Amino acid sequence: MLEVADLEVRYGAIQAVRGISLTAKRGELIALLGANGAGKSTTIMCIAGALKPAAGSIRIAGEDVTSAGPEAMIRKGLATVTETRDVFPDLTVAENLMLGSYIRRHDRAGVTEDRERMLTLFPRLAERSSQPAGTLSGGEQQMLVIARAMMSRPKVLLLDEPSLGLAPAIVDQIFEMIGVLKRSGLTIVLVEQNIAKALEVADRAYVMRLGRIAASGTAGEISAATDFNAVYLGG
Ligand SMILES: Nc1ncnc2c1ncn2[C@@H]1O[C@H](COP(=O)(O)OP(=O)(O)OP(=O)(O)O)[C@@H](O)[C@H]1O
Ligand SMILES: [Mg+2]
């Protein structure tokens, strides 16, 4: 479903991603792990079309989408939840959700159906649907950005550190939702610092180090074979 090959991304003279390759099959959840600065978010932003790669290719369902911009990527079936958890604070929860369906706004029945599905999946959002999104807690905002991303009916969902800064009980809820989305057949790329949680839900994992893939394997192999202290503290 998603094939990234030999991807390189630069910020001027800084080469943040130095030739990474990864794949995710339909319905698979892959975890992208690694220390701060390893290049995880850069990889995600490049796949999302927000950064142009210096080299390499990106394919979705076999189609080359390497040079597509952010809106084109959404139309190709890719939705992204960035690290920054951006909601439109003055718009209500329901209005934020509707913005996620912008590319298919003419499919009114489908959009209504998806909104109901997301409000069922995230009851905390349903209770707060007419509240301005800026008044939500951090965990609720994270639920909202995931639900909003799902409103474009993606084939592939990229999640950059969804558990960052959230209380353990909320983290558990977010991971439960991720599990539900995975079981519905969605392909997911999950960037996480919470390695234990990520490897619980992941099928396979890639460990990034200094812009490269340092290790990859099934979630079981990676948790057994990888010295995470070295990966995370060694930089
Ligand atoms: N806009 C930018 N301009 C210049 N360098 C950048 C920019 N964004 C990121 N970098 C650099 O690229 C490298 C990779 O950063 P990136 O944000 O992709 O790492 P990360 O793995 O997501 O880290 P974290 O776990 O802290 O989110 C870092 O060395 C960072 O300083
Ligand atoms: Mg990051």
pLDDT digits (tens, 9 = 90+) for 170-180: 999 999 999 99
Question: Is 60 within the bounds of a domain?
Answer: yes
Q: How confident is residue 106, by pLDDT bands cut at 50, 70 and 90?
A: confident
Supply the range of the domain harboring residue 68. Answer: 2-81+152-233
Question: Is 98 within the bounds of a domain?
Answer: no
- Minimum-distance ligand 1 atom for the alpha carbon of 83: 27
Nearest alpha-carbon partner for 222 in 6, 25, 40, 31: 31
pLDDT at 104: 85
pLDDT at 151: 95
Do the strands 29-34 and 204-209 form a parallel or antiparallel pair, or are they unpaired?
parallel
**Which ligand gives the minimal distance to the CA of 34?**
1
Cα(229) to centroid(ligand 2), Å: 18
Average pLDDT over every residue of 129-142: 96
Question: Is 92 within the bounds of a domain?
Answer: no
- Model confidence at 235: pLDDT above 50: no
Question: Is 188 within the bounds of a domain?
Answer: yes
Question: Is 172 within the bounds of a domain?
Answer: yes
* Domain containing residue 229: CATH number: 3.40.50.300
Question: Is 184 within the bounds of a domain?
Answer: yes
Question: Is 174 within the bounds of a domain?
Answer: yes
Helix (H) or strand (E) holding 160: strand 156-160
Question: Angle formed by the axes of helices 138-150 and 108-121, to 10°?
Answer: 150
Percent of the chain with pLDDT over 70: 96
Alpha-carbon distances of 162 from 41, 109, 114, 234, rounded to whole Å:
12, 29, 21, 24
Could you give the number of structural domains in the chain? 1
